[in-house]
Amino acid sequence: MSLEKPIEPSTVTQFQTEKLRRTIQECQDIKTLRGIAMELLQLHEKKSAIAEWATKKGVDAECRALVAEMSIENKLAKTFQIIRTDGQSDEIAGRYFSSYDEAHTVLERYYADLSCSDEDEREYYDIVELNS
């Protein structure tokens, strides 16, 4: 169903509407007209509730689809991760990268900053491929 196409009642619904319209126009009994009006109000209330429910469900489904799509794109885009060899986590460990070179550059910069520190006190990292 196209979003630009207007919502129109079916031929059967149009026929029933026309039949009810004629009944209302020809009716002389106020009690009958009131009864018809009350039934129409109840029907309108139910249809409004259905439309609201369907709208909420549609929005929920669209949101779930977008989140799933974004999750797939993120998994595909982020295929490499830096991890610490001791299993601990810090500001570098756990970061994701779309290429090995990108992750390697981050580690090069990190190790360059620590070039003066004692090698025994450094944290050591590996780059692992997540999606192969």
Percent of the chain beyond pLDDT 90?
38
pTM: 0.46
Q: By three-state DSSP, how is residue 126 classified?
A: strand
- What distance in Å separates the CA atoms of residue 93 and residue 91, rounded to the nearest whole number? 6
- The residue out of 75, 98, 116 marking a domain boundary is 75
**How many other CB atoms are there within 10 angstroms of residue 81's CB atom?**
16
- What distance in Å separates the CA atoms of residue 8 and residue 44, rounded to the nearest whole number? 16
**Does residue 124 sit within a domain?**
yes
Query: Mean pLDDT of all residues in the chain?
Result: 84
State whether 46 and 16 are in the same domain: yes
The helix/strand count (H/E) of the chain reads as 3, 3
Q: Output 16 or 132, whichever has higher pLDDT.
A: 16
- The whole-number pLDDT of residue 76 equals 63
Structurally, how many domains does the chain consist of? 2
State whether 16 and 68 are in the same domain: yes
**Does residue 83 sit within a domain?**
yes
State whether 116 and 99 are in the same domain: yes
- The residue out of 30, 54, 75 marking a domain boundary is 75
**Bridge pairing between strands 80-84 and 96-97:** antiparallel
DSSP-assigned states of every residue in 11-66: HHHHHHHHHHHHHHHH---HHHHHHHHHHHHHHHHHHHHHHHHHHHHHHHHHHHHH
Which range among 10-14, 71-75, 105-109 shows the weakest confidence by mean pLDDT?
Answer: 71-75
**Does residue 5 sit within a domain?**
no
State whether 23 and 62 are in the same domain: yes
- What distance in Å separates the CA atoms of residue 7 and residue 130, rounded to the nearest whole number? 47
Which structural domain, as residue segments, surrounds residue 117?
Answer: 78-129
83 Cβ contact list (under 8 Å, min separation 6): 93, 94, 125, 126, 127, 128
Give tens-digit pLDDT for 26-58: 999 999 999 999 999 999 999 999 999 999 998
